Amino acid sequence: MDLQIDRAHGARIYDYLLGGKDHFAVDRAAAEASLRLWPALRAHMLENRSFMHRVVRHLAERGVRQFLDIGTGIPTSPNLHEVVQAVIPDARIVYVDNDPTVLAHARARMTSTPEGRTAYVCADAREPDALLSAPQLRATLDLDEPVALTLIGMLHFLTEDDLAHEVVRRLLDALAPGSHLAASIGTSEFAPIPLAEVQRVYEAYGESVRFRTKAEAELFFAGLEVLEPGLVQIHKWRPEPGAAPVPDVDIAMYGAVGRKP
């Protein structure tokens, strides 16, 4: 198994910033260099995790019983299936990532309820047809029924716009009407100067990122029925009652949920 420890990986940087233990020196170096340039990075990552929790809980409460999570990252409890299955115990979840480190931990930490199912697919989002045909996915999800496609903090690693839109289109095309897309999408619009430096740090350590404007982020939801409050900074998407205020300048992602008609 090639753990690619000679270059940073977004999943392992994320794990380090969330306080996890599954990362390498190159990931820690990239994270610490980024924090020096933009000290809000850790708070921003924690907000992204909170956004995921709120989104999938909301979708489960709407009756969505199947989830396809691409760009899963290293498991950090509560994981997506734990949030969803607390609402719908027999929900089915497929996790997808292309980092072998994630694979090494996924089976041990992503255990389903007895009523539901979880599965893990080691695949690259850049190859959606191969991902969708994976036996583990087909054995777990019924694509003739609605599925929630979650792309949380992943699309900014698809730096080519044509490819990113083709991936999202191909995935949505494979899903039944009534399915949902939930995504958080990196942006530098609220802190352009430090985030330009962070982008350079990531690239210097071997991980490319692409920040998008709000107008560019909205294109991923074209043709979908976008749920309220629309595309907003992630800390503004249905925040928990009484949540502490977060400065806009500390958040570098837009987020939204759209329903496929």
pLDDT tens, residue by residue, 224-248: 999 999 999 999 999 999 888 999 9
Distance CA 161, CA 79 (A): 29
Alpha helices in the chain (DSSP H): 10-17, 25-37, 41-61, 80-87, 100-109, 128-132, 135-140, 161-173, 192-204, 214-218
**pLDDT over 60 at 168, yes or no:** yes
Q: Which residues contact 185 (CB under 8 A, 6 or more apart)?
A: 155, 156, 212, 217, 220, 253, 254, 255
What the chain holds in terms of domains, given with CATH numbers, is 10-237+247-259 (3.40.50.150)
Is pTM beyond 0.85 here?
yes
Least confident of 73-77, 88-92, 158-162: 73-77
Average pLDDT, stretch 34-60?
A: 92
**pLDDT over 90 at 101, yes or no:** no
**pLDDT over 70 at 185, yes or no:** yes
pLDDT band at 183 (very low <50, low <70, confident <90, very high): very high
Tokens at residue 50, please? 């909170």
Tokens at residue 138, please? 């087909």
Between 73 and 145, residue with greater pLDDT? 145
With CA atoms as reference, report the closest residue to 53 among 196, 239, 251, 223: 239
Percent of the chain at pLDDT exceeding 90? 66
Tokens at residue 7, please? 């270059």
Q: What are residue 119's DSSP bridge partners?
A: 94
pLDDT the model gives residue 105 = 67
Is the distance from CB of 191 to CB of 159 less than 8 angstroms? no
Q: Which residues contact 161 (CB under 8 A, 6 or more apart)?
A: 210, 216
pLDDT band at 3 (very low <50, low <70, confident <90, very high): very low
pLDDT band at 4 (very low <50, low <70, confident <90, very high): low
**pLDDT over 70 at 56, yes or no:** yes
